[in-house]
Amino acid sequence: MIRPGLFLLFTAFAALAQTPRPGVNYDEAKVGNDPLPDLKATTAEEWTKSRRGEILALFEQHVYGKTPANVGAPKFEVTATKPDALGGLATRKFVHVSLPERPAWQGMEVMIYIPNGVKAPPCFVGLSFGGNHAVSVEKDVPLSTRWMRPNKEKHIVDNKATEATRGTESSRWPLEMILKAGFAVATAYYGDIEPDHADGWKSGLRAAVSKDGANTVWSEWGAIGAWAWGLSRIADYLQTDAQIDGKHLAVIGHSRLGKTSLWAGAQDERFGVVISNNSGEGGAALMRRDFGETTAIITKAFPHWFTPKYASYAGNAAACPIDMHMLIALAAPRPIYIASAAEDHWADPKGEFLSGFHAGPVYALFGKKGVVVEEQPAIDTPVGNFIGYHNRTGKHDVTDYDWTQYLTFARRHWGR
């Protein structure tokens, strides 16, 4: 039963995400011109030995919080294997990941598709908003029983998935296309790691691994950090699976999960390709540009995503010692791809391009070219060498167009 009041609220909320909100700037002449913090690196060696670590620490302190190191070894159990998934195209596996020393965490269910007939393929690793059963159209994928954000359109009822939610994210995960291109896919529901609401930490990973009581959780790290941790645990498992090329992992995410993908890629260098799809504020979009969503808006709406310090830069981005070109630079010299959508003004497509552009000097230290161009390219015109970028026609979403670019990018860099 959906209450009409709630329905109206959700509809209004969904509409707000795309239409200009009053008081939100969409005028390029008013974005401000605070200078970006200097990357301060003059050689590749200096970058690798000192500057990279300093900048990573700044992101921990000011944006995402610090990922705890000593939470005990993760345990991996392959719970099911189906050799003829998707009509024989792939082998599908489910892997339960848990932390035996932190039993309060319920663990996560990883779903992996490996193209049949391809020996140890590279693998895309990403979290989903709706769970494995929403990513896949296969009816035998177990329905997630975890808490889900209200979403009438996607048939979430009383914060739970229903049968009707099956396949509702499949357009964002074109499995056949990816598998036919010779890549594997490993994915899990982000809510398995921590439910995405202000109190989610209590029943998620963060409380389970908290050192000295739940009260310190918020000051230690945010939900984005927890989700990024989950991506690294998937990478841990993939290193152990001989059916996957664990040396060729691409981390990918959309929107808040694009922010997560960038943070995972920054911390975990096993992700050889990093992909941000429409990650916007708190992700690829430069925070010093006042365009679309701002630090003030995001930290008010989603305080649990970040370390509390980040909210102190609301209306005062210039005081923050980092900006997002530095997050992109943390991927260097690995290939990174930033994608925008032309109608996704909320995420500030130009600000997403500019963070890639301004990360270029770090790639140059390694003798690598970044976005190559000087200006944001025309719509539907992918650019870039080690920093890929495109601004796709349409809305905030992940489409086949986006995936086509990612597959081409990964193939180009990995010679596949």
- Residues interacting with ligand GTR, by CB under 6 A? 17, 255-256, 280-281, 293, 298
Q: For strand 271-277 and strand 336-341, is the pairing parallel, antiparallel, or unpaired? A: parallel
Minimum distance from CB of 355 to ligand GTR (Å)? 15
Q: Which is nearer to ligand GTR, 112 or 327 (CB)?
A: 327
Q: Which is nearer to ligand GTR, 242 or 301 (CB)?
A: 301
State the SS3 of 156-203. Answer: CECCECCHHHCCCCHHHCCHHHHHHCCCEEEEEEHHHHCCCCCCHHHH
**Annotated catalytic residue, options 136, 255, 261, 279:** 255
Helical (H) or strand (E) element with 15: helix 4-18
Q: Which is nearer to ligand GTR, 121 or 282 (CB)?
A: 282
Minimum distance from CB of 346 to ligand GTR (Å)? 6
Minimum distance from CB of 298 to ligand GTR (Å)? 5
Q: Which is nearer to ligand GTR, 292 or 384 (CB)?
A: 292
Minimum distance from CB of 226 to ligand GTR (Å)? 15
Residue with tokens 């923050």: 320
Q: What 8-state DSSP symbol labels residue 373?
A: -
Beta-ladder partners of 177: none
396 labelled catalytic: yes
Minimum distance from CB of 8 to ligand GTR (Å)? 18
Minimum distance from CB of 18 to ligand GTR (Å)? 10
Q: Is the peptide bond before 333 cis (omega within 30 degrees of 0)?
A: yes
Q: Which is nearer to ligand GTR, 255 or 340 (CB)?
A: 255
| Burial (0-12, 13-18, 19+ Cβ within 10 Å), 240 | exposed
Q: Which is nearer to ligand GTR, 91 or 276 (CB)?
A: 276
Minimum distance from CB of 242 to ligand GTR (Å)? 35
Q: Which is nearer to ligand GTR, 211 or 300 (CB)?
A: 300
The residues near 412 (Cβ < 8 Å, ≥ 6 apart) are: none
Neighbour count for residue 374 (Cβ, 10 Å): 6
Q: How far apart, in Å, are the Cα atoms of 79 and each of 95, 110, 153, 168, 192?
A: 6, 10, 31, 24, 16
Looking from the CA of 207 toward its CB, the CA atoms found within 13 Å total: 15
Secondary structure class of 138 (helix, strand, coil): coil
**Annotated catalytic residue, options 304, 345, 358, 396:** 396
Q: Which is nearer to ligand GTR, 322 or 398 (CB)?
A: 398
Longest dimension (CA), the chain: 61
Looking from the CA of 122 toward its CB, the CA atoms found within 13 Å total: 23
325 labelled catalytic: no
Secondary structure class of 415 (helix, strand, coil): coil
Minimum distance from CB of 280 to ligand GTR (Å)? 5
Secondary structure class of 124 (helix, strand, coil): strand
Q: Which has the closest alpha carbon to 125: 249, 262, 264?
A: 249
Token couple for 30: 């008013």
Sign (positive/negative) of CA torsion 10, 305, 398, 138? negative
Active-site residue set: 255, 396
